[in-house]
């Protein structure tokens, strides 16, 4: 089963790479999204399923979290005891559950009986963490893609249930650590308190804008440090974003997005402060206030037709764009030191240490959305060229330390 599934997946990735290999705007490939542990390494199938425990989601209020064994029974058409999981047979007619055929469980007197609760805990006598298996598949994917595009970057995300990222090491150039970063409590609860955040496993609030940013910075830093278990590789946050439907969709009902804008200000400010590279999740052209992103009960889209009031305005329909559309350093001829943007005063500040062996200019993205009437640029330690038509400031260094300040006119 493993070989059948993995070979088909890897070959599907090969087809993607074959079709995209001649596009110069394709930098690389993600292996796959948010690896889960499944049954791997579970010492006792009667224990609560890890992902459900982390998510805090149970089948009915007050009921215990389903165990791995509960899911296995339900998938074969049995209703587990003490659970509201629906019996929903997943196996083909006339075929038994693979795990039953392998003796993990059987039916005795008409009832399912677990025979090997530790079946998935080890291969033979050897126990491995989840990332051992995740890493093996990542290497297989990387090899297939590099046969087609040798210089392609390979972005890989670890399982959240195994801290040993050394198992993910590709042994090939172009590896990137690709964690995700969300404010977990609003993400899971759809409830947001202004200038407040909570550690994921605590009900003790962190309050005050500075404290919230510090908490975000710590989480981002931990994700970057953890990723270095792969090796000294770059970090790119493959997903970041804020849920717009928090507090019973208050912003949609009232048209007041101020709380979400404050949320985004702190959130994206922390990403700037940590000089993080990231992709925003997500842009859904068919988003709606009622249905969100039409997937997984999520509503993260930075655009919605329901917010589009002026068809002549390209930015109409955007959500919290005051924070989403930000100036940033596109390319730095040296080492970045600090970056910050104040969306209220419209001041962007960037500092870096110049590398005189690099002949190219440093490039800053200057969005017209934030600077509609133009921008004033000052550079300490270099010269600049402002090209508002292409939303760019180019800077050539004349000293080791360079500071760029851009303000709205």
Co-location of 299 and 184 in the same domain: yes
Q: Is residue 16 part of a domain?
A: no
What are the tokens at 39? 């049954």
Q: Is residue 262 part of a domain?
A: yes
Report helix, strand or coil for 323. helix
- Which residues form the domain of 73? 50-114
- pLDDT tens digits for 134-175? 999 999 999 999 999 999 999 999 988 888 899 999 887 889
Q: For the chain, what is the largest distance between any 2 Cα atoms, rounded to a whole number of angstroms?
A: 84
Co-location of 208 and 236 in the same domain: yes
Co-location of 190 and 254 in the same domain: yes
Co-location of 252 and 357 in the same domain: no
What are the tokens at 287? 């988003």
What are the tokens at 238? 């493959």
Co-location of 227 and 296 in the same domain: yes
Co-location of 243 and 315 in the same domain: yes
Co-location of 253 and 346 in the same domain: no
Domain boundary among 324, 357, 382: 324
Domain boundary among 99, 114, 129: 114
What residues have CB less than 8 Å from 114, skipping those under 6 apart?
A: 45, 46, 69, 104, 105
Report helix, strand or coil for 254. helix
Q: Is residue 392 part of a domain?
A: yes
Q: Is residue 379 part of a domain?
A: yes
CA distances from 318 to 76, 305, 307 (A): 46, 9, 7
Co-location of 334 and 257 in the same domain: no
Q: Is residue 173 part of a domain?
A: no
CATH number for the domain that contains residue 387: 2.60.40.1180
Q: Which of 306, 315, 328 is nearest to 391 (CA)?
A: 328
Domain count, the chain: 3
What are the tokens at 223? 């994700």
CA distances from 134 to 16, 51, 161, 209 (A): 20, 16, 11, 38
Co-location of 283 and 390 in the same domain: no
Quote the Cα angle for 155-157-163, to 5°.
140
Q: Is residue 197 part of a domain?
A: yes
What are the tokens at 141? 């994917």
Co-location of 191 and 280 in the same domain: yes
- Provide the total of helices (H) and of strands (E) in the chain, helices listed first: 10, 18
Co-location of 206 and 285 in the same domain: yes
Give pLDDT, residue 400: 97
Domain boundary among 324, 339, 363: 324
Q: Is residue 340 part of a domain?
A: yes
What residues have CB less than 8 Å from 148, skipping those under 6 apart?
A: 14, 17, 18, 21
pLDDT per position in the chain (409 positions), as tens?
889 999 999 999 999 999 999 999 999 999 989 998 888 888 899 988 765 544 444 444 456 788 999 999 999 999 998 777 888 899 998 888 999 999 999 999 999 999 999 999 988 888 888 899 999 999 999 999 999 999 999 999 998 888 889 999 988 788 999 999 999 989 989 999 999 999 877 789 999 999 999 999 999 999 999 998 888 899 999 999 999 999 999 999 999 999 999 999 999 999 999 999 999 999 999 999 999 999 999 999 999 999 999 999 999 999 999 999 999 999 999 999 999 999 999 999 999 999 999 999 999 999 999 999 999 999 999 999 999 999 999 999 999 999 999 999 9
What residues have CB less than 8 Å from 149, skipping those under 6 apart?
A: 17, 20, 21
Give pLDDT, residue 124: 83
The beta strand positions in 48-121, using DSSP E, are 105-108, 111-114
Give pLDDT, residue 342: 97
Co-location of 316 and 373 in the same domain: no
Q: Is residue 68 part of a domain?
A: yes
- pLDDT tens digits for 289-333? 999 999 999 999 999 999 999 999 999 999 999 999 999 999 999
């Amino acid at each position: 089963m493993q070989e059948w599934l993995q070979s088909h997946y890897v070959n599907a990735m090969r087809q993607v790479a074959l079709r995209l290999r001649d596009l110069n705007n394709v930098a690389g490939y993600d292996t796959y999204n948010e690896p889960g542990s499944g049954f791997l390494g579970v010492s006792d199938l009667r224990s609560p399923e890890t992902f459900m425990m982390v998510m805090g989601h149970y089948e009915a209020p007050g009921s215990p979290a389903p165990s791995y064994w509960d899911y296995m029974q339900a998938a074969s058409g049995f209703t587990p005891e003490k659970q509201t999981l629906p019996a929903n047979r997943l196996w083909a007619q006339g075929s038994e559950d693979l795990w039953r055929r392998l003796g993990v469980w059987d039916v005795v007197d008409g009832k399912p009986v677990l025979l090997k609760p530790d079946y998935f805990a080890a291969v033979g006598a050897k126990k491995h963490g989840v990332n051992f298996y995740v890493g093996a598949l990542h290497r297989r994917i990387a090899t297939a893609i590099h046969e087609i595009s040798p210089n392609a970057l390979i972005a890989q995300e670890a399982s959240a249930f195994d801290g040993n990222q050394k198992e993910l090491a590709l042994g090939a150039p172009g590896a990137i650590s690709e964690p995700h970063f969300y404010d977990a409590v609003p993400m899971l609860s759809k409830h947001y308190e202004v200038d407040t955040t909570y550690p994921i496993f605590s009900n003790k609030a962190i309050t005050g804008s500075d404290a919230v940013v510090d908490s975000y910075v710590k989480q981002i830093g931990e994700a970057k440090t953890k990723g270095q278990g792969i090796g000294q590789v770059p970090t790119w946050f493959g997903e970041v974003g804020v849920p717009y439907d928090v507090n019973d969709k208050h912003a949609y009902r009232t048209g007041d997005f101020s709380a979400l804008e404050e949320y985004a200000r702190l959130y994206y400010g922390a990403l700037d402060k940590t000089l993080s590279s990231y992709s925003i999740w997500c842009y859904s052209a068919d988003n709606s206030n009622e249905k969100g992103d039409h997937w997984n009960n999520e509503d993260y889209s930075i655009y919605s037709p329901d917010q589009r009031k002026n068809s002549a305005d390209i930015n109409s329909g955007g959500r919290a764009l005051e924070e989403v559309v930000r100036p940033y350093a596109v390319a730095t001829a040296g080492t970045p030191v600090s970056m910050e943007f104040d969306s209220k005063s419209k001041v962007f500040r960037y500092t870096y240490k110049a590398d005189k062996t690099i002949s190219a200019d440093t490039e800053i993205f200057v969005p017209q959305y934030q600077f509609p009437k133009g921008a004033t640029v000052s550079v300490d330690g270099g010269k600049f060229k402002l090209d508002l038509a292409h939303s760019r400031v180019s800077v050539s260094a004349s000293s080791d330390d360079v500071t760029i300040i851009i303000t709205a006119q």
